[in-house]
Amino acid sequence: MKQLQDDPWDLVAAKFPLNSVHQGRVTNITDYGAFVELEPGVEGLVHVSEMSWTKKNVHPGKIVSTSQEVDVMVLEIDASKRRVSLGLKQTQRNPWEVFKETHPEGAEVEGEVKNITEFGLFVGLPGDIDGMVHLSDLSWDERGEDAIQNYRKGDMVKAVVSEVDVEKERISLSIKAIGGDRFADAVGGVKRGSVITVAVTAIEDGGVEVEYEGMKSFIRRSDLSRDRADQRPERFGVGDKIDVRVTNIDAKTRKLGLSIKAREIAEEKEAVEQYGSSDSGASLGDILGAALKGGN
């Protein structure tokens, strides 16, 4: 008991344990924080960094006022320096935590465009926090630098939550994900090696442009046929339906690699395996003839 009387700060530490919440009165406001009186003779500092989860660069006087009663959390008691560190924001839940609980990845949100930068859009979200839509998440079809020109501060936009990083206080959003991924939907059942039917939409010197489920692809001249004599784009007409083999699925560029040549080679190989081999002495014409008869 004598020791407690000798050092009243031991009593302070016992009465105001770490992480406990108490009500106090704001006695003074400075550029670096606000002083709060917990009881007569016991005062602590709420540093500006501990005042608000979201108001990072504002004067403490914009958050609290002198003589205001506030709830604060005890963060540290340094008896040797006779100093009590307090937190104001800790008496409220972390808004990024709350947002993550109420808006899991994949959830749709709506908010106002607060700011537009060279990296993307900042969108206001519940809890007085912002989410960012990166340039690459604005549109499936347009370059981000072009798509961002369609937005203005104050616009209301819908987006999908891509990621919530509570520790870094960062929320990633995607506007292009609203309504799903057209490319993923279209190629959902398509794999490398699949044979699909496409429609010719344009004839060019280097090949033909085709369309599959609303998506455009290009078949190069060298992939138009197994035989070089038939690698002529002009032998096709706009509107023609062609069976092609999928040689590549590039989710990043959202393009399908297609080839008539690869389809013909695969069909030839299958016919050889089914109806004959080079060792049997049968000619390719014999094999393909047998294959055609077998298909009838």
Quickly list DSSP for 186-232. HTTT--TT-EEEEEEEEEETTEEEEEETTEEEEEEGGGS-SSGGG--
CATH code matching the domain that covers 99-174, chosen among 2.60.130.10, 2.40.50.140, 2.130.10.10, 3.40.50.300: 2.40.50.140
The reported pLDDT for the residue numbered 2 is 44
Position 268 confidence tier, pLDDT thresholds 50, 70, 90: confident
**pTM higher than 0.85:** no
Average pLDDT over residues 30-58: 93
Please indicate whether residue 141 or residue 262 has the higher confidence score (pLDDT). Answer: 262
Model confidence at 1, pLDDT cuts 50, 70, 90, reads very low
- The more confident residue out of 282 and 236 is 236
- CATH 2.40.50.140 range(s) for the chain read 2-91, 99-174, 183-265
Mean pLDDT over 156-184 rounds to 90
116 vs 296: which has the higher pLDDT: 116
Determine the Cα–Cα distance for residues 155 and 133; give it in Å rounded to an integer.
14
Left, alpha or beta for 78 (phi > 0: left; psi -120 to 50: alpha)? beta
Tell me if the domain spanning 2-91 has CATH number 2.60.40.1530. no
Q: What's the pLDDT band for 109 if we cut at 50, 70, 90?
A: very high
Mean pLDDT of 22-49: 94
* Ranges 36-40, 80-84, 173-177: which has the least confidence: 80-84
Q: Is 262 helix (H, G, I), strand (E, B) or coil?
A: helix
Q: Say if residue 3's pLDDT is above 50.
A: no
pLDDT at 202 over 70: yes
pLDDT of 129 above 50: yes
What average pLDDT does range 39-51 have in this prediction?
A: 93
The candidate with the shortest Cα–Cα distance to 262, out of 196, 211, 201, 210, is 196
Where residue 10 falls (left for φ over 0; alpha for ψ -120 to 50; beta otherwise) is alpha
Mean pLDDT of 27-31: 95
Task: Place 141 in a pLDDT band, splitting at 50, 70 and 90.
Answer: confident
| Domain 183-265: CATH architecture, name and number where available | Beta Barrel (2.40)
219 exposure class (CB count in 10 Å sphere: 0-12, 13-18, 19+): buried
Question: Residue 6 has what pLDDT?
Answer: 54
User: What's the rounded mean pLDDT across residues 175-188?
Assistant: 77
Task: Judge whether 77 and 7 are in contact, CB under 8 Å.
Answer: no
Query: How confident is residue 203, by pLDDT bands cut at 50, 70 and 90?
Result: very high
Q: Are 153 and 113 in contact (CB under 8 A)?
A: yes
Whether the predicted pLDDT of 146 surpasses 50: yes
